[in-house]
Structure 1
Amino acid sequence: MSPPSREATSRDVHTQDGKIHINDVGEGHPIVLLHGSGPGATAWGNFAPNIAHLAERFRVLAVDLPGWGGSEAVPVAERDHPGAVIRLLDELGIEKAALVGNSMGGVVSLATAALHKDRVSHLVTMGPAAKPRPGLFAPGGGPSEGLRILFQAYADPSVETMAKLVDVMTCNPEFATDDLVKQRAESAQANPQHLKHFLEGLAQGRNAITRWASPEELMGITAPAMLIHGRDDRVVHFESSLELVSLIPNSRLVLLNRCGHWAQLEHAQEFNRLVTDFVAHN
């Protein structure tokens, strides 16, 4: 059997957050995949090496959050990503789901698990920041190497800049392929309104993440959590997940050697095995 295609699994779901684009494939316990905040990011693009494998055992919902991909173009100040996830589950008739989030998607997953404990069965994150830090998202205020290039790519979503972005997101150069660079550049250029809203938010001192879970809220998460982080992450240092694992009661940390910000891409086989076993047996 051929693997599921992006086109065949694509659908739009309409909620009070507007149009939410998802790829819906497989059967079983639902796993919601949430992407990061980079220009041209989509859930399918962020999780292409994982969807077919996970769909062998679970129902996989790869979600473009409002402001990205095929979903509604929403100004930063009007976004409520944890609420959008819950309203999407409501519209799909899903009572409880596992959340798997990379970077910004991990922060959204953490906040959703903290605010809606009865709706989240499992929590998996890859490379999220534990909390907002002063100046982290402000131009000239000391963002990481990866975030500086991410901001640059929003202003200039050219193939040349996207090559820098893909390079800084990965540890092993073999994963920074020309095809991936081209895909991200084309995706970003296809949605100029998303780029505009991000840059406007940045100019207003806002970052893409509008709701963070506080330390007290993180301590109240009841879902079992697996925190995956690359030791060589140049976007969010792995100390962030060390902080998270110290706060979330039922949590474990998997630190991957020779791994950057995209663990699900660089260590796809191990990631797929870890997530499958974790959701199936916890």
Structure 2
Amino acid sequence: MTAITERDVPFEGTTIHLYEGGEGFPICLFHGSGTGAATLSNFRAILGPLASTFRVIAADLVGYGQSGLKPAEPYFDMAMWSRQVAHVIGLADAPRVGLIGHSLSGALVLKAAAICPAVAGVVTTGTMGVAAPRRHGSRGWVFPETQDQLLAQVRNTVTDPSLIDTAELDRRRAVLDRPGYRDYFTRMFDGQQESFIGASAVTAGELAAIRCPAILFHGNDDRSFAPEATSIPLARGIADADVVLLANCAHSVALERPERFLDIVTPFFRRCATAA
């Protein structure tokens, strides 16, 4: 399997941690905003396989994973994360790129596709992007005080709890235990959750401006955001968009159904790479 390397790049007074590998058509990946989330949380099962065919550039969002923290509030900052997406696209240094975004970053990559002519294709998984509430009973963005609370939060993203192993919990705990991070994360989501969901909304005008093809994946068992409330109405606003609903799958699509995801995404991005 193609090796994945890591490096940090400067960005707006902090740093972005990157995972890179492979050659050819570049695909930039961005993870979601779950507690302690990072690139490997969402994409560890697909980075290597994608890098065997494409050039992969995956970024931890600022405030997450091994990226640096935002120097000043607001820490939940869609405009800043959108600039981060644009910066990573620029690092690809290519005339055409593909984008993959999970959950919060699904909204970010859709917004990027609306304004960046270099985006040749966009894929989302369990995306946000509609000003609608979470499903009833969803735990939301709450800092876990105990390991059991963290385990419950992360298991909520999958139907198969065995996918959440000790290594994944240790990776998330390493993020959460960074000095000052508890306060940082708490202040990031200090307010009504509906306001953060609303801030991620992709407008009708942005959807209409997306001219590249799109695939919106969603697990039928997603306990955070229902496909009927997010992926399906978002796709209706895009000229060339397909929705893929996956059985036996919750929020973390690329982790829970990596083979099916790759079966669809690999030929999709091959077509994007060669489209006129």
TM-score, length-scaled by structure 2:
0.87
1:145: how far off? 2.9
**Is residue 107–residue 129 contact of structure 1 (8 Å, CA) maintained in 2?**
yes
Query: Structure 1 residues 14 and 36, CA, compared in 2 at 3 Å: closer, same or farther?
Result: same
Q: Given the alignment of the two structures, is residue 50 of structure 1 paired with residue 61 of structure 2, yes or no?
A: no
Tell me the distance in 1 between the aligned counterparts of 2:198 and 2:47: 25
Q: What's the C-alpha RMSD, in Å, of the aligned pairs?
A: 2.2
Q: Give the structure 2 partner of residue 139 of structure 1.
A: none
**Is residue 144–residue 150 contact of structure 2 (8 Å, CA) maintained in 1?**
no
Q: Given the alignment of the two structures, is residue 271 of structure 1 paired with residue 270 of structure 2, yes or no?
A: no
Q: Given the alignment of the two structures, is residue 202 of structure 1 paired with residue 189 of structure 2, yes or no?
A: yes
Q: Given the alignment of the two structures, is residue 30 of structure 1 paired with residue 26 of structure 2, yes or no?
A: yes
TM-score, length-scaled by structure 1:
0.85
Q: Give the structure 1 partner of residue 161 of structure 2.
A: 173
Q: Give the structure 2 partner of residue 132 of structure 1.
A: 131
Q: Give the structure 2 partner of residue 107 of structure 1.
A: 107
**Paired AA for residue 62 in structure 2:** P
1:144: how far off? 4.2
1:103: how far off? 0.5
SS state at 1:121 partner: strand
Q: Deviations over 1:207-252 (max 9, x none)?
A: 3885532022112211110010000000111111111121111000
Query: Structure 1 residues 202 and 16, CA, compared in 2 at 3 Å: closer, same or farther?
Result: closer
1:167: how far off? 1.5
1:3: how far off? 5.2
Aligned residues: 265
**Paired AA for residue 185 in structure 1:** R
Tell me the distance in 1 between the aligned counterparts of 2:67 and 2:197: 15
1:91: how far off? 4.3
**Is residue 12–residue 21 contact of structure 1 (8 Å, CA) maintained in 2?**
yes
Q: Given the alignment of the two structures, is residue 237 of structure 1 paired with residue 233 of structure 2, yes or no?
A: no
1:87: how far off? 2.0
- Aligned-residue sequence identity (percent) comes to 28
Q: Which runs of 5+ in 2 are unaligned?
A: none
**Is residue 105–residue 128 contact of structure 1 (8 Å, CA) maintained in 2?**
yes
Q: Given the alignment of the two structures, is residue 145 of structure 1 paired with residue 137 of structure 2, yes or no?
A: yes
Q: Given the alignment of the two structures, is residue 186 of structure 1 paired with residue 174 of structure 2, yes or no?
A: yes
**Is residue 33–residue 103 contact of structure 2 (8 Å, CA) maintained in 1?**
yes
Q: Which runs of 5+ in 1 are unaligned?
A: 137-141
Q: Deviations over 1:3-38 (max 9, x none)?
A: 525xxx110112336311101111111111110001
**Is residue 111–residue 211 contact of structure 1 (8 Å, CA) maintained in 2?**
no
